[in-house]
Structure 1
Amino acid sequence: MIAALPTAQNVFTYAVRYDRGVALARESVLVTTIVSVPVVLLAAALLA
């Protein structure tokens, strides 16, 4: 279940702080958040 969770906001925070890979971190957080919703629901249904 933990593997289905989205990328943590810490990744974006570190990218902004060190001014490296901000766009990649931002897009990663967005995409993994969107994709995680159906994956978590599917995992919960399979485990129930």
Structure 2
Amino acid sequence: MFKPTRDKEWEIAILTNLPPSNAQAAKITELYRHRWSLETLFQTVTESEK
């Protein structure tokens, strides 16, 4: 499960306004990493269309 970011970082800071009862750190981190995978994909597609 542990792997560095694309910039070879091992730590990332994530701020959220979710209440502690709904904010499991591991789940938020997993969702965040997935989101940025999608953002990177969209950026690649957008740049290749130019």
TM-score range, shorter chain: 0.3 to 0.5
Higher relative contact order (CA 8 A, sep 6+): 1
The structure whose residues are more often helix, as a share, is: 1
